[in-house]
Amino acid sequence: MKLALGPIPYFWNRVQVFDFYARVAVAPVDIVYLGETVCSKRRALRLPDWLDIAERLTAAGKEAVLSTLTLIEAESEAAYMRTVTENGRYAVEANDMAAVNMLEGVTPFVIGPHVNVYNSRTLALMARAGAKRWVMPMELDRDTLAALQEQRPAGMETEVFVFGRLPLAFSARCFTARAHNLSKDACDFRCADYPDGMELRTREGQSFLSLNGIQVQSGETYNLVHEISALRALGVDVLRLAPQAQGMFQIVEAFRGVMDGLQESSAAAAMLEPYQAAGACDGYWHGAPGMNRVSGG
């Protein structure tokens, strides 16, 4: 079983991004996803920068994958996505069916968590298109995963999101800009002020959601550290962590320790507590409301 680091969902400045990946290069992760997946206006790094980071990570023994935008709204965004899919050097994670279309039959690629692979027929279709790995949509439960694992095509790897704020929705509107009474076109990049998202609470003060530009995330942090043995038993090949500004490398160490049998999941859960925004949730995995905490992780 391998450990993956998903693409950075937040808008970090150029120095932060390069410093982060310099540390990732020596961290015990196997696969690293790179690129902007949320908002095309976030251009602190260009494609040559991402390719440079990918080259450095590859030299460090990591598998580098370039991720595409999740919501395509303009021809310029589609054109940029084509340059990513045609990079010719690194595998691509398709987060939109347009990217799947561009990659079909050209090179093995990864089906991202935002493509709705909900049944075995869709998974088989993606395999015929050339997908080598799929990331389970976060809202699916363990029973659905078990059924899909029984019918997954030969050679197809399975990856499951196991830690981080859940990406729940994407919109043409920018929620962070709206919270500051700004339009999307004149947002002043206010999302850069929230390196782990902008917390949204109810009138009673309870954590509800997190705003990240055009993306809405869960308030709580999804945490399946207690389920690593179950995931291994289901034949899952890769576990994915979502990058965050606080405690990322402690999070990596906690999951790696459980995966390698060096510590119990209960000890890892205690290590993770300080880095779980508004506490932990794991409801989706258990077929319950996503914000619920079932296992106590």
29-59 tens-digit pLDDT: 999 999 999 999 998 999 999 999 999 999 9
Domain assignment present for 99: yes
Give the least confident one: 70-74, 105-109, 151-155, 249-253: 105-109
> What is the predicted pLDDT for the residue at 64?
98
3-class SS of residue 168: strand
Domain that holds residue 35: 2-165+222-271
Average pLDDT of the residues in 72-96: 94
89 burial (CB, 10 Å; 0-12 / 13-18 / 19+) is exposed
List, in sequence order, every residue forming a beta bridge with 31; answer none if it has no partner. Answer: 4, 63
Please say if the pLDDT value at position 246 is more than 60: yes
Q: Give the model confidence (pLDDT) of 101-144 as tens digits.
A: 999 988 899 999 999 999 999 999 999 999 999 999 999 999 99
Radius of gyration of the chain (CA): 18
Range scoring the smallest mean pLDDT among 24-28, 83-87, 199-203, 268-272 = 199-203
Q: How many domains does the chain have?
A: 1
Q: Is residue 211 part of a domain?
A: no
pLDDT digits over 193-205, tens only? 999 999 998 888 8
pLDDT at 137: 97
| CATH number (domain holding residue 55) | 3.20.20.70
pLDDT of residue 210: 94
Residues 6+ apart with CB under 8 A from 152: 120, 123, 158
In this structure, what are the phi and psi dihedrals at residue 110, rounded to the nearest 5 degrees?
-110, 135
Structure tokens at 76: 């310029």
Question: How far is Cα 204 from Cα 195, in angstroms, rounded to an integer?
Answer: 25
Burial of 34 (0-12, 13-18, 19+ CB in 10 A): buried
Percent share of the chain, pLDDT over 90: 90
Range 291-296, long-range pairs (CB < 8 A, 24+ positions): 291/218, 291/219, 291/220, 293/220, 295/226, 295/227, 296/226, 296/269
Mean residue pLDDT of the chain comes to 95
Whole-angstrom distance, CA of residue 54 vs CA of residue 160: 22
pLDDT at 297: 46
pTM of the complete model:
0.95
Average pLDDT in the 286-293 region?
Answer: 90
Whether residue 296 has pLDDT greater than 80? no
